[in-house]
Amino acid sequence: MFHHRITKLFSVILLALLLLSVAACNSSSRQKKYDYSSSNRSLPNANYGTVYTVKRGDTLYSIAWAIKQDFRKVAWWNGISSPYVIHPGQRLRMYPPSQKTTKKSGTSPPQAAYSTKQKVNKSAKPKSYKSKAPQGKVKRWGWPTVSRKVVSRFHPAAGRDGIDISGRYGDAVYASADGQVVYAGSGLRGYGKLIIIKHNKTYLSAYAHNDSILVVEGQNIKAGKKIGRMGISGKGSATLHFEIRKNGKPVNPANYL
């Protein structure tokens, strides 16, 4: 009788351990499936020096980000003005026009890179604003969150162009330095609700995975101003992805903060 009870108890424990193991595997597979970390971003397959055909879901910002160039530069290369509307099937040059081409057409390059089958939506209301970003050096870079717990470090070779800072859901996200908001939205896949700030002609900073955005494009802001609230990343935890780009190229934020 006693032996029977021991055997039955052992079977129950074995079954419980098996169920826990299956649950852990399912949780791990779900996390992997929805992992939108910096090393697993779905960015446009654009390469510098080529002509890229716009795909559904692309934005000018995501394309410029993919080739590590300032989005205004890519817009100028293709004669695109604010609000930077592009269309599926449209062909964009991923390189600057020649000096001869620029002289013939004035300050704006020709529209030759466009697909002739596509028509620009002229009815779209332009979000026009003057660039008023600071022109001098960035005096000081401040931490974009109260938390300073870096859970993923800068490693471009592994696809990590910035750092991930963990915190609590809803924590305030702050501007790292004085500047102007040049992008505020969710058009870049893998970044969630994203804010990009231009600090001067050289530097941009980006704040990704926000739960909410508290600024608008064209807004001038001071260092330390609350610009958003921390949201949940694809890994299921409250995380801010923070990047600094110098002349369009990712640099290690840890060297600036």
- The residues near 62 (Cβ < 8 Å, ≥ 6 apart) are 43, 44, 187, 188, 189
Residues 191, 240 contacting (CB under 8 angstroms) = no
pLDDT beyond 50 at 147: yes
Residues 62, 188 contacting (CB under 8 angstroms) = yes
Distance CA 248, CA 253 (A): 14
Put simply, whether the predicted model's pTM sits higher than 0.75 gets the answer no
To the nearest 10°, the Cα dihedral for 99, 101, 103, 107? -100
- CATH class in words for 149-255: mainly beta
What mean pLDDT comes out for the span 75-88? 89
- The residues near 32 (Cβ < 8 Å, ≥ 6 apart) are none
The beta strand positions in the chain, using DSSP E, are: 51-53, 91-93, 149-152, 163-166, 172-174, 179-185, 193-198, 203-213, 220-221, 226-230, 239-246, 249-251
pLDDT band, very low/low/confident/very high, at 39 (cuts 50, 70, 90): very low
2 or 171: which leads in pLDDT: 171
The separation between the first and the last C-alpha atoms of the chain, rounded to the nearest angstrom, is: 69
pLDDT beyond 90 at 220: yes
In this structure, of 108-112, 144-148, 241-245, the range with the lowest mean pLDDT score is: 108-112
What pLDDT is attached to residue 242?
Answer: 96
- Give start-end residues of each CATH 2.70.70.10 domain in the chain: 149-255
CA dihedral (110, 115, 116, 120) positive or negative: negative
Alpha-carbon radius of gyration of the chain? 23
In angstroms, how far is CA 194 from the centroid of its own chain?
6
What pLDDT is attached to residue 33?
Answer: 32
Which of 179, 174, 181, 197 has its CA nearest to residue 139? 179
Which of 196, 224, 203 has its CA nearest to residue 134? 203
- Give start-end residues of each CATH 3.10.350.10 domain in the chain: 33-124
The CATH fold assigned to 33-124 is: Membrane-bound Lytic Murein Transglycosylase D; Chain A (3.10.350)
